[in-house]
Amino acid sequence: MDIGGSGIKGCLVDLDEGRLLGERVRIETPQPSLPDSVYGVVAGIVESFGWGGQVGVTFPGVMKAGVAHTAANVDKSWIGTDVDAGLEQRIPGAVQTLNDADAAGLAEMRYGAGRGRGGVVLMLTFGTGIGSALFVDGRLVPNTEFGHIQVDGEDGERRASAAAREREELSYPAWALRVDRYLDVLEAGLWPDLIIVGGGVSKKASKWVPLLSTRTPVVPAELQNDAGIVGAALAAVERLAP
């Protein structure tokens, strides 16, 4: 399951191959996006698959031991909420929640562009904001929030997210310049060995990734928008979330 500010998505996952089994179900996120309303949607999607086993759930915020500590693009009443406990009251299986970008990163490191890579690997998801997942020799450093690093006096995601490109009607070359500047700041502090870029805009990687001038190799995510769901399922089975 993948909880987002605009949509809630779910699907069964084949963890041997890291792919979705059948068509995913997507339901618009209730507005306002209050916990109880979202729990109901998640429960309905799980029930639609007839599933009673382990359930992995991504959440757009910092997650620790099932508790939301921030809430990006969903109602602020989530902050301090035990999401694991709330969902387990509504669905039959054991629940494991984790940050949405961390989930996508886990999937890419196991099945996708980061498979077999050591060193420092940074996954960035470009969407409404910028999510991040950091790996050191394959181990996740959970709950990084690199979308909020300061770039020229403002949050990096304010200028370089996919939403910023759409909001300001930027061409891909113009947007790539902003992404380049954002990555310059990240590189100065992290010196990663590989950057994986995901989110919906990764489908158009050929229009902007070759324009980047970063010293770090930048590659598009291979699982694209399925990465969050696959990573959530992986975390649920292997208990990978913090």
d(CA 113, CA 90): 35
36 and 92 share a domain? yes
Answer yes or no: is 106 within a domain.
no
Answer yes or no: is 66 within a domain.
yes
d(CA 223, CA 207): 18
160 and 185 share a domain? yes
CA of residue 208 relative to chain centroid, distance? 20
Q: For the segment 84-104, what is each residue's pLDDT rounded down to a tens digit?
A: 999 999 998 889 999 999 999
Answer yes or no: is 138 within a domain.
yes
61 and 140 share a domain? no
d(CA 178, CA 176): 5
* Residue 157 near residue 86, CB atoms below 8 Å: no
138 and 90 share a domain? no
Answer yes or no: is 111 within a domain.
no
92 and 130 share a domain? no
Range of the domain at 74: 2-101+226-238
Identify the CATH number of the domain in which residue 37 sits: 3.30.420.40
Q: What 3-state DSSP class applies to 204?
A: helix
d(CA 239, CA 241): 6
138 and 182 share a domain? yes
Q: For the segment 185-224, what is each residue's pLDDT rounded down to a tens digit?
A: 999 999 999 999 998 898 899 999 999 999 999 999 999 8
Answer yes or no: is 107 within a domain.
no
Q: What 3-state DSSP class applies to 130?
A: strand
20 and 76 share a domain? yes
* 153-191 burial code (b ≥16 CB/10 A, e <16): eebbbbbbbbbbbeeeeeeeeebbbbbbebbebbeeebe
pTM of the full predicted structure? 0.94
- Closest C-alpha among 51, 58, 116 to residue 84: 58
Answer yes or no: is 183 within a domain.
yes
- Closest C-alpha among 145, 194, 147, 204 to residue 170: 204
Would you say residue 242 has pLDDT above 70? no
Q: For the segment 38-85, what is each residue's pLDDT rounded down to a tens digit?
A: 999 999 999 999 999 999 999 999 999 999 999 988 999 999 999 999
State how many domains the chain has: 2
CA of residue 50 relative to chain centroid, distance? 25
